[in-house]
Structure 1
Amino acid sequence: MVERIDAKNIEPMLKKLIDIAATVEPNLSDRLKEIDRWAGQEKAGFLTSRKFLMAFLAEIIEDAQIWLTLQENEIQSAHEEYNEECQQRLAQEMTPPLAYWYSELFPLWFRSSDRKFSQWKNCLKSGKHSADDATELNLLVEKIQERGGNVLCRKIIDFSMSTDLIVSGRQSNTSLCVQITKMGESEQMREKIKLWEKTLKCWDIKRGLFVSLDPANFPDSIQSASNLILFNSDRMKSEGYKSFSF
């Protein structure tokens, strides 16, 4: 769970992270500068009025803090100055989806050109974004966690990587990227699946699951989807994309 941040603290926290990242990873520093120019310098009242924008800013600040801490730990460990017990504790606390996010997808995002970034930045800042599938996603996350699975949600993977959830099951440390939709069987959905596969390949995401839920069949479709996601997280091959409808 990402901690909330007071809107008045957004800009100073971004500035601090920009300075730290400049000596560790210039690409992250540059991406944070872009975010600061776009939203960090807005007045606190404006930011507070944009719930989803604030949620994204809190996520990016926490992710940058954790990623930079992990890099520092790696450097200390390489010089044998880092406490081995502390390193083991950090590894135990890092779930497979978090490890996948911080080791692969997050650094890939800030080191790459994200062609969707300007589009969803404008959407968040204008206040037009609405999480119309939030209820279904929250129920699905609860079901997966109840059965011992691990789940990660991030605005970046949702908007840029066609992924609502990164999931790992109880029997595998390999993460699965899951896209959820409420669209029924149609030509439009088939086109959406093609675009989804193309996006995952663009981000070098090897394992993906596309799940279409039937709003008229809740909560049964949520239960079935959670079973399907956990099964495929544990059993799906190292590479592949699958789609299912309920």
Structure 2
Amino acid sequence: MQAKEIKEQIQVLIEQASLLDPNLARRLDEINRWVKNLKPGSLMAKPFVLAFLLEVITDSTIWLLIKSLPSPEAQQAKFEQMTPNERYWYGYLFPKWINASDSKFYIWKQKLMAGEFNQVDDDIIRAIAQDITSRDGSFWQRYIADLSMATDLIVSNRHQQPLCIQVTSVCQELHHQKYQAWENTLRSWEIKRGLFLSYNPQNANFVNQLVNVALYNSDYLAGGKYLNFS
């Protein structure tokens, strides 16, 4: 999708959302005002901004489709067609983001626009995701989850219970501080359980270990628990 098409699609979604979900319309209008003065060439030169916009367009389109269904039963039937991670995203976290006050949104929009979004652990997260898939687990990734909800991956395994995970190589001195901030963020979004995974890149087997922990805890970590695994 080209920059002009992206801007046009956001406008279309704002019009649809104004009838079906005014809070989504306000969110999209905020995003529209953020990018409307960017020329197409400038927008295409900002890959993280583009990726975020495409995600928001996809999520908003699916959400409005659900909202347009004629009954709660029809909506529930649509959710039942989704994977557990999709159902958790569209049935819980994405609408929560639409309706809640997101104190981090203003900050990370600026960082995306300035090209300051630094995915330090991106290769590790990708390796973890690939390993999860190879073991018949599943994962979900969203910029909103990452930047507002401190969640790099949403993972589910055999029991189909999505688990929010953050992956970090933070140094020991800052570990507790970052863990506490992560837990506070999950609680503020009413995410019922989570896994904070710290790794040592010197350990050749750390990806395998992290995936073992992620898949096990997806199935068995109790609600109200925010596990710190190092």
Q: 1:110 to 1:213 in 2, by over 3 A?
A: same
| Aligned twin of 1:199 | 185
Q: Distance in 2 between matches of 1:39 and 1:227?
A: 41
TM-score when scaled to structure 2?
Answer: 0.95
| Aligned twin of 1:142 | 130
* Contact 2:17–2:64 (CA under 8 A) maintained in structure 1: yes
CA-CA distance at 1:104 after TM superposition: 0.9
2:107 to 94, 112, 119: 119
| Aligned twin of 1:49 | 45
- The runs of 5 or more residues in structure 1 that have no matched partner are none
* Contact 1:10–1:40 (CA under 8 A) maintained in structure 2: no
Q: Distance in 2 between matches of 1:41 and 1:217?
A: 47
1:232 to 204, 217, 222: 217
> SS in structure 1 opposite 2:154?
strand
- The runs of 5 or more residues in structure 2 that have no matched partner are none
CA-CA distance at 1:209 after TM superposition: 0.2
CA-CA distance at 1:107 after TM superposition: 0.8
> SS in structure 1 opposite 2:123?
helix
* Contact 2:149–2:189 (CA under 8 A) maintained in structure 1: yes
Task: Say yes or no: does 1:20 pair with 2:7.
Answer: no
CA-CA distance at 1:92 after TM superposition: 5.4
Task: Say yes or no: does 1:175 pair with 2:162.
Answer: yes
> SS in structure 2 opposite 1:183?
coil
Identity of aligned residues (%): 40
| Aligned twin of 1:243 | 228
RMSD over aligned CA atoms reads 1.7
| Aligned twin of 2:94 | 106
> SS in structure 1 opposite 2:228?
strand
CA offsets per residue over residues 6-41 of structure 1, 9 Å max, x none? Answer: 222111100000000011110000000000000144
Q: What is the aligned residue count?
A: 230
CA-CA distance at 1:173 after TM superposition: 2.4
Which amino acid counterpart does residue 227 of structure 1 have in structure 2?
N
